[in-house]
Structure 1
Amino acid sequence: MNSPLWTLDEIVAATGARVGSGFAQATGASIDTRTLEPGDLYFAIKGDVHDGHDFVPTALEKGAAGAVVSEEKAPAFASDRLIVVPDVLEAMRQLGVAARKRTDARIVAITGSVGKTGTKEAMRLALSRQGATHASVASYNNHWGVPLTLSRMPRETEFGVFEIGMNHAHEILPLTAMVRPHVAVITTIEPVHIEFFPSLWGIADAKGEIFSGLEPGGTAVINRDSPYFERMKAHALASAAGRIISFGEHADADIRAERIIVKPDQSIVEARVFGELITYRIGTAGRHIALNSLSVLAACHALGADLALMALTFADLKPPVGRGERTMLSVGDDEALLIDESYNANPASMRAALANLGSVELNRQARRIAVLGDMKELGEKGPVLHEELIEAIEANKIDLVFAAGPLMQSLVGRLPKAKVVLHAQTSAELVDAVCAAIRPGDAVMVKGSLSMKMALIVKALKERYGASQAAHALKG
């Protein structure tokens, strides 16, 4: 039987908390009463919209082992099962640091402009077949997501996989210092959050911060195909890293893709790992996914994992909801394919999503339909970066386009009028038109920045036409 996640003595030792009566031990950690499980330690952190202290009674009613509250707010509650601290977020950080200190797990940290979550999920899957693995949930990669993930890490963990994100310079520094990875990965550098940086060089420097937290002798994994490879390498050389492993299609990459075959519902990769040929199948489509799988090989190689066993696990990899999930819709007497890319968007991921849509084989009368929302945080380059999507739309033979948001006007203005079905300011205004447009055999892809709420369209399509996981793509 596994030991409790946290005992009273451990919490007090880590945070210096004042503890009320009734608390014994915690089996989990939570900041959200909607997903809280009995036995969880509830952290009443203050967010941008809600103050977690407002939900303390609910957490305790739902069976929380205890609630971590601030000294300032503590008098508003009965003392039963309260853990009182000066600052709740800081206490969660302290508990995360304690979790990292007590574990013997081998730790991987992942950042990059694109592909963090997908790479994290591939890493989690690969390592979970070789030992007890703990990983970030969803995209818990920021100032509260990283310490929460750390504080949830069981002491029996053998491998830990952490996603680390940023919007501004110097945000990764404290997070990687908490995680203290043995392996740190940068997937790629793209113009994501570019409005907060003077250039892509600035983004490369900000991502390079992840190497500062490496354990002495640790391994830095870097995309050799990136034009910013030398910049990232410099950050690795300035850290405690004892080794640098490069990946990509570049001739000098340590882990090099020799051949990538992208099919409608899978990808096949032939790669050389320090000269040794390995071939594997990935259970989801996408050239970018295939390239990021090389970074997983690199990290697992650095950890000493069994690469042959790990490669077999890629066949079981499925895209997360909102990041390429495929669903078959019942349309008339036939089916249509829905590709859900609604979680977020940037120029690189948008091009990759359009390429995936373009790879779907269709019947002669069927159409490829792209439903696109604005890509945010691109600054003054936003209009041009939207306009440039026309190249990917043409190259991937997209038949119809629905667009939402003011920035998409730059793209819509360049597209042939026959290709643009509707341009609206919000995703909600597209829902009825998109649902009405779908015909048997079509393939439709939905993508946009999170704030554009493109998931509304995905939900409407599933509700109107029914939904089942796509076991295959449409074939011509």
Structure 2
Amino acid sequence: MTRRFLWTGAALARATGGKLSQAFQVRGVSIDTRSLEPGDLFVALGGARDGHDFVGQAMAAGASGVLASRPVDAPHVRVADTFIALQSLALAARERAVDARRAAVTGSVGKTSVTQAVAAGLARAGRAHASVKSYNNHIGVPLTLARMPAETERAIFEIGMNHADEITPLSGMVRPHAVAITTVGPVHVENFPDGETGVARAKAEIFDGAAPGAVAVLNADNRWFGCLSARARARGLAVRSFGRAEGADARLLDFAVDAGRGVVRAEIDGRPLDLSLSQTGAHWGLNAMCVLLLLDALDVRREDGIGALSAFEALPGRGAESLVRLPGGGGFTLVDESYNANPISMAATIGSLGARRAEGRRILALTDMLELGEEAPRFHADLARPIADAGIDLVYCAGPLMKSLWDALPSTRRGGYAGQAPELASMIAGALRPGDLVMVKGSNGSRAGQVAQALRALDPRTEGAG
């Protein structure tokens, strides 16, 4: 389907205060020639790799025009600073989409999954716009806004941070009518002298840019709920809560796995609700509650929210499952949670693995959790308790920080230890049996994804693929 025009060159010039070289129109906005689509505007951002050096590649890939800060051999709008111009374009996009109700999501874990599940609900309700991938930083948020069509009715944005004072300007840019903080925990704590307290304060910055009358959706089970609720109300937001806690507006009563699907029993505003999810991770019970409250705040019918959640599939690296055939016959189930990791998400996924039925053994393959500061060894060693509680059969560890967990494990649970992630897959491969259930989790920087990729490649059907 042909994309509609998003911006004319003249509108781009007005929005950014730039000078138009010649008339052109664009259907999208891109900052990367590798993902640029024909008809896009290429924004030549500066940095370690100057985007102006890639203008030729952008035009060859089908770009219709360029936003540039120096002369280029292409239809363009010339501005003083392309990053500032991108921000100006984002604000112009927000102002021209006069009917759009916007929501923003942050949190120590789960923000991408919740954002994309909300996006699925918005798509059922009308003309929707959403963040792609994890475009949640000082570039990704304005880029997502700049891509928002004028006729948008509802939009959802993901906002991330790893330092204080990062969320406030992004919230002000989005000006959300609803916000959600999925949870707060010890993530990026090495960047906060006051630890988790600083993380909670930084997450609360999402309230700073909220539109008048906005709704804050908060996790009633999180120990920071009281502080966050008070901060939200002080900013004039109405608070809606989700969790297992008594009194939560969206209260999760039970989560189970049956016939390969997650089964949720809940109450929203005192009314019973049953959900069937394609997701089997136990954390999806709370995710679903958060999603439904956000959709309520954006005036999406409950039926659309339920339908979207029922059909929503796991994102790559965030719980996606596959049956991997073994060369000798039979196969094992791989649960890929390799996108990222922190103590909260680790405990949740370990618990989910323990709750799963398995024909064979439940096996964990873990790589280092990063950005945890001086307490990192303790956070890793402490995983031994949820592993024991979940009844995990074997644990494979890789990385210097995971050595602390390895040392804390009883010998009966030790599968193998490696200094680096790439060495781990071969250890696991040599021990696999048909019917085993294997979960891979770790931080991006510790290369957990390579372990998952190598395990998938054991399947004879992948030979010669790609």
TM-score for both structures, normalised by structure 2: 0.94
Contact 1:31–1:44 (CA under 8 A) maintained in structure 2:
yes
Per the TM alignment, residue 41 of structure 1 is displaced from its structure 2 partner at its CA by 0.7
Per the TM alignment, residue 240 of structure 1 is displaced from its structure 2 partner at its CA by 3.7
Question: Counterpart of 1:147 in 2: which secondary structure?
Answer: helix
Contact 1:29–1:152 (CA under 8 A) maintained in structure 2:
yes
Gaps of 5+ in 1: 469-476
| 1:121-158 per-position Cα deviation (integer Å, ceiling 9, x unaligned) | 11111121111211111111000010111111112211
Please say if 1:38 is aligned against 2:35: no
Please say if 1:354 is aligned against 2:330: no
Please say if 1:226 is aligned against 2:222: yes
What letter matches 2:322 in structure 1? Answer: T
**Distance in structure 2 (CA, Å) of the matches to 1:466 and 1:52:** 41
Q: Which residue of structure 2 aligns with residue 57 of structure 1? A: 56
More moved, 262-271 vs 312-321: 262-271
What letter matches 2:302 in structure 1? Answer: L
Contact 1:264–1:361 (CA under 8 A) maintained in structure 2:
no
What letter matches 1:89 in structure 2? Answer: F
More moved, 417-426 vs 96-105: 417-426
Contact 1:69–1:82 (CA under 8 A) maintained in structure 2:
yes
Per the TM alignment, residue 40 of structure 1 is displaced from its structure 2 partner at its CA by 0.6
Please say if 1:311 is aligned against 2:306: yes
Please say if 1:10 is aligned against 2:15: no
Q: Which residue of structure 1 aligns with residue 457 of structure 2? A: 463
Q: Which residue of structure 1 aligns with residue 329 of structure 2? A: 333
Matching residue within 383, 386, 402 for 2:396: 402
**Distance in structure 2 (CA, Å) of the matches to 1:99 and 1:387:** 48
Per the TM alignment, residue 466 of structure 1 is displaced from its structure 2 partner at its CA by 5.0
**Distance in structure 1 (CA, Å) of the matches to 2:261 and 2:200:** 30
Per the TM alignment, residue 30 of structure 1 is displaced from its structure 2 partner at its CA by 0.9
Contact 1:111–1:185 (CA under 8 A) maintained in structure 2:
yes
**Distance in structure 1 (CA, Å) of the matches to 2:269 and 2:412:** 50
| 1:326-371 per-position Cα deviation (integer Å, ceiling 9, x unaligned) | 01101132121001011100001111121222223222xx222211
| 1:299-332 per-position Cα deviation (integer Å, ceiling 9, x unaligned) | 1222222113321321101110000000110113
Gaps of 5+ in 2: none
What letter matches 2:437 in structure 1? Answer: A
**Distance in structure 1 (CA, Å) of the matches to 2:430 and 2:387:** 22
Please say if 1:376 is aligned against 2:375: no
Q: Which residue of structure 2 aligns with residue 109 of structure 1? A: 104
TM-score for both structures, normalised by structure 1: 0.92
Change (3 A) 1:421 1:26: same
Please say if 1:69 is aligned against 2:65: no
Contact 1:215–1:240 (CA under 8 A) maintained in structure 2:
no
Contact 1:209–1:235 (CA under 8 A) maintained in structure 2:
no
Contact 1:435–1:461 (CA under 8 A) maintained in structure 2:
yes
Identity %: 43
Question: Counterpart of 1:155 in 2: which secondary structure?
Answer: coil
| 1:77-99 per-position Cα deviation (integer Å, ceiling 9, x unaligned) | 32x22322221111111111111
Contact 2:107–2:203 (CA under 8 A) maintained in structure 1:
yes
Per the TM alignment, residue 170 of structure 1 is displaced from its structure 2 partner at its CA by 1.0
Matching residue within 235, 240, 257 for 1:239: 235
Matching residue within 413, 418, 436 for 2:407: 413
Question: Counterpart of 2:162 in 1: which secondary structure?
Answer: coil
Per the TM alignment, residue 279 of structure 1 is displaced from its structure 2 partner at its CA by 1.3
Per the TM alignment, residue 435 of structure 1 is displaced from its structure 2 partner at its CA by 2.8
| 1:442-463 per-position Cα deviation (integer Å, ceiling 9, x unaligned) | 1111111110111112222222
Contact 2:10–2:20 (CA under 8 A) maintained in structure 1:
no
| 1:23-56 per-position Cα deviation (integer Å, ceiling 9, x unaligned) | 5111011111111111111112235x53322222
